[in-house]
């Protein structure tokens, strides 16, 4: 196990995805707003999604130099996407948002964690 990512590039890719996702959540893009609606995420909490995603990106980038931070942030993203998947399942939203977006991101986060910090 390593405390700094090796290789670094998967962590950077995950950070870039988090930044883009955060930008899309600032004023939720139509497909994101529909996703929030489909899983019954209360509208009063929509605002917090962008800061969460920007914080994840910041943790990933800072974790390139701060031992353990990128690994912790990656683990937190794994938990985030497990919760997102459970929300889709609970809402019986078995479409693209579950199988492509949430599940795909979970796989990407798990793969990043294993490849950059465990192997």
Please list, residue by residue across 4-13, b when 16 or more beta carbons sit within 10 angstroms of its beta carbon and e when fewer do: bbeeeebbbe
Give 6-48 pLDDT, tens digit per residue.
Answer: 999 999 999 999 999 999 999 999 999 999 999 999 999 999 9
Question: From its phi and psi, is residue 8 left (phi > 0), alpha (psi between -120 and 50) or beta?
Answer: alpha
How many Cβ atoms are within 10 Å of 48's Cβ, its own excluded? 10
Residues 115 and 77: their CA atoms lie apart, in Å, by 15
Q: Is the pLDDT of residue 66 over 90?
A: yes
Under the banding of pLDDT at 50, 70 and 90, the label for residue 98 is confident
The number of C-alpha atoms within 13 Å of 57 and in the hemisphere containing its C-beta is 16
């Amino acid at each position: 196990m390593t405390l700094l990512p090796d290789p670094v590039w998967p962590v950077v890719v995950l950070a870039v995805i988090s930044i883009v996702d955060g930008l899309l959540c600032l004023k939720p893009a139509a497909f994101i707003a529909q996703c929030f609606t489909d899983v019954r995420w209360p509208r009063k909490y929509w605002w917090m999604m962008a800061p969460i995603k920007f914080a994840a990106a910041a943790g990933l980038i800072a974790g390139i130099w701060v031992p353990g931070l990128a690994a912790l942030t990656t683990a937190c993203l794994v938990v985030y996407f497990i919760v997102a998947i459970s929300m889709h399942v609970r809402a019986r939203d078995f479409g693209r948002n579950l199988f492509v977006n949430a599940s795909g991101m979970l796989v990407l986060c798990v793969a990043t964690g294993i490849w950059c910090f465990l192997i």
